[in-house]
Chains A and B, each alone.
Chain A
Amino acid sequence: MHPRFWCVVVLLLLVPAPLLALNAQEIVERANQAAYYAGADGRARVEMTIRDASGLERQRRFTLLRRNEADGRQRFYAYFEAPADVNKMAYLVWKNPAAEDDRWLWLPALNLVKRIAPGDKRTSFVGSDFLYEDVSGRSTREDTHVLLEETDSHYVIESRPKDPASVEFSRFVTRIDKQTFLPLKADYYDSSDRLYRQVEALQVETIQGFATVTHAVARDLLRDSSTENRFSGVAYDLGLNERIFTERFLRRPPREVLH
């Protein structure tokens, strides 16, 4: 092949990806990858502080393991330590982007693996202001996305649900970092176009080359409550065995969650 061809190829590869115009759907896909699929697997310790309107605080503490599978499927394992009444409970999710998730809960006092019926993914996660979908990700195909604005550092995307009856928002606007593709802030508007909910990344660190949100907050502006999530001990590409994400390791916590 002609050497000039290679020069063109090399030059094209050197052009930063964001400069190649991406459409809204492509940006959202990349943001989804950056936020929920970093590495082949991952682990984090999560400290949640839920603050209600009266100022009362509640704590949740758990270790989360994640493993990516084929076709966007994922497996999650959460091992709870606090509050005391859920200590040693374990929660297993097989996320199926094309169908309902399979979910199991381990109740240590009964020595029982309870299968959980498919649920509304816009339900609060463990009583916090984060929703189940904030934790496991929302399918990018459930909304139509429009690029509202592009600055030097951010994309601003507006997403509207294809099935408005299935969700509590009429639209949400996400600010996505151009370098890392991490969503840094999402504002949710209700049917009367009132801003009622915000999810925001307060701190981003680069861990093993992956931009990682290590401090986030979700605010419910109507109930005046908020939940802060702090992530520590984050690690990627641990080589987590798929066996961990089975009933066997619900009954007995894997060593990987106890570190």
Chain B
Amino acid sequence: MAWRARGWLAAALGWLFCLVLLSAVPVRAWELHGFADLRSGLRLRDADHQRRALLNEARLQSQLSHYGTLALWQLRADLVADEAAPETELDLERGSGPLDLREAYVLLTPAAAVDVKLGRQILTWGTGDLLFINDLFPKDWQAFFLGRDEDYLKAPSDAALISLFWGAVTLDIAYMPGFEADRYISGERLSYFNPLLGRRVGRDAILQVDRRSRLLVEDEIALRLSRTLAGYELALYGYDGYWKNPLGFAPARERMTFPRLRVYGASLRGPLGAGLLHAEIGYYDSLADRTGRDPLLPNSEYRFLLGYERELARDFTAALQYYLERLDAYGAYRRSLPAGQRPRDENRQLLTLRLTRQLLGQNLLLSLFTYYSPTDADGYVRGLVNYKATDALALFAGVNLFAGRHAATFFGQFEDNSNLYGGVRYSF
């Protein structure tokens, strides 16, 4: 059913494409760009039920665009061959297989104050740096932890984005007719902590998930109302959909689920002293378990983020963030927690530090991003060295290091996935 509806949507988009293209005068005719990227990564130590090789990937990205007087068309697609990938079947939602369709959209301006972007697109908003509160668009955690480029943390959505502009005020409405889940960690390649088995698992216990795939029924909507005031960017957000990771459990079907979720939030970003300040809040309303009594469903949460970034010296920047997840109905959560399971803290706190140094005429980039949670007693370090040998050719190497006192915490569960990778990219 879902596939038939998607096919119908694709056909409609195809007709629109022909109609708009034929009646438009090109401003910029077809342009082709892209890159070829080769990278290889391996685990720093053996993990049960997993291969040592994490990534042996050749990727060719092609980006084709056409800019006419009526519309901007863009197609961006990756052809991927990954020897280390356990999953070879094409799945455009999970991002596995030989094709990863990143973008296929048309951008129209039907009225002077309206932009409409239809089709597959990457959506991003909010103020966090590798921390997200009101950005409920899909993330690819697997790509992020595996050692792919940071760009791949954002997974595409099939969406209609409508932007309305009144003077300094902008309203963005993103409608996703089908639920766009995160590309979550399922054990196929990266090990994770399975709370039912009470241990870290890999290919021996692939996460079984109920994918919400009923088109137009299991849909999502995200809103942002924003304006700039005296150099400060202010925004209000709303979201109606589902938890992006399969955090619920349906015992009858023995499957993980994506429970209902509604989010309300706000953010601010602007200069303070010699640096840049950003703050963001959100309330995660877990509609299926508002009382917090159901141990198989996530509780509601308050989320809070405060960050400051400044240049310490020429071409050397530091950014610090404080992040808090405060569980709602914590008492009910503790009372309903199954015996033997380690309770989480009422206030999960996280600190991040990003250091970025550019050297050799900005051709050598040294980047370090560190997550540390004092409440979970775990952390995650991302290090990257990237050297642009020429305009076209870049060489890079990086690490993803996970550590934690407990196997069940967010970063602690990935300890066996600590990895080292390197590669080369040719851009055209």
Contacts and interface: CB of A to CB of B under 8 A. Distances in A.
Given A102-B231, A117-B275, A118-B276, A248 B115 contact: yes
A85 B424 CA distance: 13
Contacts of A1: none
Interface string B388-407: 10111010000000000000
Nearest to A129: B361
Contact of B170 (A59, A117, A247, A253): A247
A16 B423 CA distance: 64
Given A117-B275, A118-B271, A112 B124 contact: yes
B87 to A, nearest CB: 24
B356 to A, nearest CB: 10
B391 A117 contact: no
A120 B124 contact: no
Interface residues on A, range: 35 or more
Contacts of A259: 27
Given A117-B309, A122-B314, A225-B361, A248 B163 contact: yes
A247 B233 CA distance: 11
Contacts of B313: 120
Given A88-B33, A111-B154, A258-B67, 17 more contacts: A82-B391, A84-B35, A84-B391, A85-B35, A85-B388, A87-B33, A110-B122, A110-B124, A111-B122, A111-B123, A118-B271, A120-B314, A124-B362, A127-B361, A127-B362, A247-B170, A258-B27
B361 A85 contact: no
A243 B274 CA distance: 27
A58 B390 contact: yes
Interface of B: 27-28, 33-35, 65, 67, 69, 72, 107, 115, 121-124, 151, 154, 163, 165, 170, 228, 231, 233, 269, 271, 274-276, 278, 309-311, 313-315, 317, 319, 361-363, 388, 390-392, 394, 425, 427-428
Nearest to B31: A87
Contact of A115 (B27, B276, B388): B276
A47 interface: no
A83 interface: yes
A225 B276 CA distance: 33
Contacts of B35: 84-85
A85 B314 contact: no
A252 B72 contact: yes
A100 B33 CA distance: 35
Nearest to B76: A109
Nearest to A227: B361
Contacts of A115: 233, 269, 276, 278
Given A117-B275, A118-B274, A118-B311, A58 B391 contact: yes
A77 B168 CA distance: 18
A61 B271 CA distance: 30
Contacts of B310: 117-118
B390 A117 contact: no
A30 to B, nearest CB: 30
A22 to B, nearest CB: 35
Contacts of B314: 120, 122-123
Given A110-B124, A115-B269, A117-B275, A84 B33 contact: yes
Contacts of A109: 122, 151
Interface in A225-259: 225, 243, 246-248, 251-253, 255, 258-259
Contacts of A112: 124, 154
Nearest first, the 7 closest Cβ-Cβ pairs linking A and B are A83-B391, A127-B362, A84-B427, A109-B151, A111-B122, A117-B276, A85-B427
A225 B361 CA distance: 10
A45 to B, nearest CB: 13
A110 B151 contact: yes
A58 B390 CA distance: 7
B392 A56 contact: no
Contacts of B122: 109-111
B310 to A, nearest CB: 5
Contacts of B121: 111
